[in-house]
């Protein structure tokens, strides 16, 4: 039995932070940000709300689309780097708010690859026959961990959530067909939040040194992201006897337009095969892929039997690709 995506939804906060707004906060320019990253604006969640607020809204869109009640959900997986709290898991807040009274669930931290890792994990429970309805959510409130005095990072990130429902596929051709996932901890020094974990708990000193904010060596991450994503997309196509031309839509993690463009060119994809929305939202970490998928579905860019490839790269390093045949009309 294969696992298939049978509903997809998303949530974006109303507040918009434009490049012009950032020009007033740090030494940067709209032109620099657009040409180096492809980003024009990003969404920012209210300070008094947590990641679960967005996760719940995205999940509700999925339930409405499928016309099912939350009580039918067997399992909730929330991929996030920015949980509401360290304990309990954000999945618990989502369960409570949705009133999903017959499920279990957990958080999964795969950084920017979190949604792909969660999708592959959720699929196991469908494929084994153990569960019939698994909610997989990617949600991040990056504004909570970004230093708005650091121009290297604050221009890149935004807040959002996306969610999908996994169910048994209608037939053996449809649904998740393959995935290739990787983890290489030698990349851990290039993208991290050093303090606030068990290794270096928060102290006045760690806060004064801004160690509770996201640090990134952008140049190094960029190179690894292009190479890693190119390799896994080329590999998954080859393993499944597919060529670039067979793919209806490539839905990549949206971290930098130049990364996506380089990967697409290297694996032989035309611009019209690539889903892009980084311009509007920036990098929303675990939310980029389900958010892009939800918008692609709304724009009717995918139809039953279409081959869809996703790919992501993130802190860890984590990276991977996932191939599926789209089930919905």
Q: Which stretch binds ligand COA (CB under 6 A): 45-53, 203-211, 214-222, 303-311?
A: 214-222
Between the CA of residue 253 and those of 40, 166, 229, what are the distances in Å? 17, 20, 10
Do the Cβ atoms of 191 and 313 come closer than 8 Å?
no
Distance CA 189, CA 217 (A): 8
User: Rule CB under 6 A: is residue 115 a binding residue for ligand COA?
Assistant: no
- The CB-nearest residue to ligand COA is 218
Task: Assess 187 for contact with ligand COA (CB under 6 A).
Answer: no
Window 6 to 45, contacts with ligand COA (CB under 6 A) = 28, 32-33, 36-37
Residues 250, 183, 321: CA angle, nearest 5 degrees: 15
| Residue 154 appears among annotated catalytic residues | no
Residue of 328, 314, 327, 260 whose CA lies nearest to 116? 314
With CB under 6 A as the contact rule, which of the stretches 52-60, 89-97, 198-206, 219-227 interacts with ligand COA? 219-227
| Active-site residue, from 112, 131, 154, 256 | 112
Least CB distance to ligand COA at residue 299 (A): 24
Number of residues in contact with ligand COA under rule CB under 6 A: 21
- The partner residues of 7 in beta bridges, in order of sequence, read 165
8 A C-beta contact, residue 52 and residue 97: yes
Choices 70-78, 147-155, 204-212, 320-328; region in contact with ligand COA by CB under 6 A: 147-155
Measured N-to-C along each axis, helices 51-66 and 288-298 cross at an angle, to the nearest 10 degrees, of: 30
Residue in 115, 179, 222, 297 binding ligand COA, rule: CB under 6 A: 222
Stretch in the footprint of ligand COA (CB under 6 A) among 53-61, 86-94, 164-172, 216-224: 216-224
What residues between 260 and 289 interact with ligand COA by CB under 6 A?
283
- Applying CB under 6 A, does 218 fall inside the site for ligand COA? yes
Question: Which position among 213, 313, 319, 326 is part of the footprint of ligand COA (CB under 6 A)?
Answer: 313
Whether 42 contacts 157, CB under 8 Å = yes
Please spell the DSSP secondary structure of 115-164, one letter per residue. Answer: HHHHHHHHHHHHHTTS-S-EEEEEEEEGGGT--TT-HHHHTTB-EEEEEE
Q: Is 283 a catalytic residue?
A: yes
Q: Does the protein bind ligand COA through residue 255 (CB under 6 A)?
A: yes
Question: What is the C-alpha end-to-end distance of the chain, expressed in Å?
Answer: 20
Is residue 112 among the annotated active site residues? yes
- Contact between 256 and ligand COA by CB under 6 A: the answer reads yes
Which is catalytic among the residues 109, 253, 256, 277? 253
| Core vs surface per residue 285-296: b (16+ CB within 10 A) or e | bbbbbbbbbbbb
Two tokens, residue 56: 């719940």
Find the binder of ligand COA among 45, 221, 278, 322 (CB under 6 A): 221
Q: Nearest distance from residue 147's CB to ligand COA, in Å?
A: 12
Instruction: Kindly indicate which of the ranges 9-17, 58-66, 133-141, 252-260 contains the residues binding ligand COA, using the contact rule CB under 6 A.
Output: 252-260
Q: Note whether 307 binds ligand COA by CB under 6 A.
A: no
Tokens at 65, concatenated: 């689309």
Residue 151 found at the interface with ligand COA (CB under 6 A): yes
Q: Which residue's entry shows tokens 């932070």?
A: 17
Closest CA to 116 of 90, 83, 138, 133: 138
DSSP secondary structure string, 278-289? HHHH-B-GGGHH
Closest C-alpha to 179, from 310, 67, 327: 310
CB of 61 to ligand COA, least distance (A): 25
Site residues for ligand COA, 153-172, by CB under 6 A, read 155
Q: Interface residues with ligand COA (CB under 6 A)?
A: 28, 32-33, 36-37, 112, 151-152, 155, 216, 218-219, 221-222, 225, 255-256, 259, 283, 313-314
Q: Which residues are catalytic?
A: 112, 253, 283
């Amino acid at each position: 039995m294969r696992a298939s995506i049978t509903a997809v939804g998303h949530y974006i906060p109303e507040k918009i932070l434009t490049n012009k707004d950032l020009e007033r906060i740090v030494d940067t320019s709209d032109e620099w940000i657009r040409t180096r990253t492809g980003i024009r604006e990003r969404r920012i969640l209210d300070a008094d709300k947590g990641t679960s607020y967005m996760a719940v809204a995205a999940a509700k869109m999925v339930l409405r689309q499928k016309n099912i009640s939350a009580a039918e959900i067997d399992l909730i997986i929330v991929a996030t780097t920015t949980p509401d709290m360290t304990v309990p898991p954000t999945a618990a807040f989502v369960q409570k708010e949705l009133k999903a009274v017959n499920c279990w669930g957990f958080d999964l931290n795969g950084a920017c690859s979190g949604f792909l890792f969660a999708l592959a994990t959720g699929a196991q429970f469908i494929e084994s026959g153990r569960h019939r309805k698994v909610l997989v959510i990617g949600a991040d409130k990056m504004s909570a961990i970004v230093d708005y005095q650091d121009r290297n990072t604050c221009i890149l990130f935004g807040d959002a959530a996306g969610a999908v429902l996994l169910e048994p596929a209608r037939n053996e051709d449809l649904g998740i067909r393959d995935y290739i996932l990787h983890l290489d901890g030698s990349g851990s020094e290039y993208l991290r939040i050093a303090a606030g974990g068990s290794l270096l708990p928060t102290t006045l000193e760690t806060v004064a040194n801004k160690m509770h904010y996201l640090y990134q060596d952008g140049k190094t991450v960029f190179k690894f992201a292009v190479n890693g994503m190119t390799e896994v997309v080329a590999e998954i196509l080859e393993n499944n006897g597919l060529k670039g031309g067979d793919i209806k839509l490539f839905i990549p993690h949206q971290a930098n337009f130049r990364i996506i463009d380089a990967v697409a060119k290297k694996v032989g994809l035309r611009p019209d095969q690539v889903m892009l929305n980084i311009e509007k939202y920036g990098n929303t970490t675990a939310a980029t892929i389900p958010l892009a998928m939800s918008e692609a579905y709304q724009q009717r860019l995918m139809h039953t039997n279409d081959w869809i490839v996703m790919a992501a790269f993130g802190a860890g390093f984590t990276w991977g690709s996932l191939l599926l045949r789209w089930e919905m009309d």
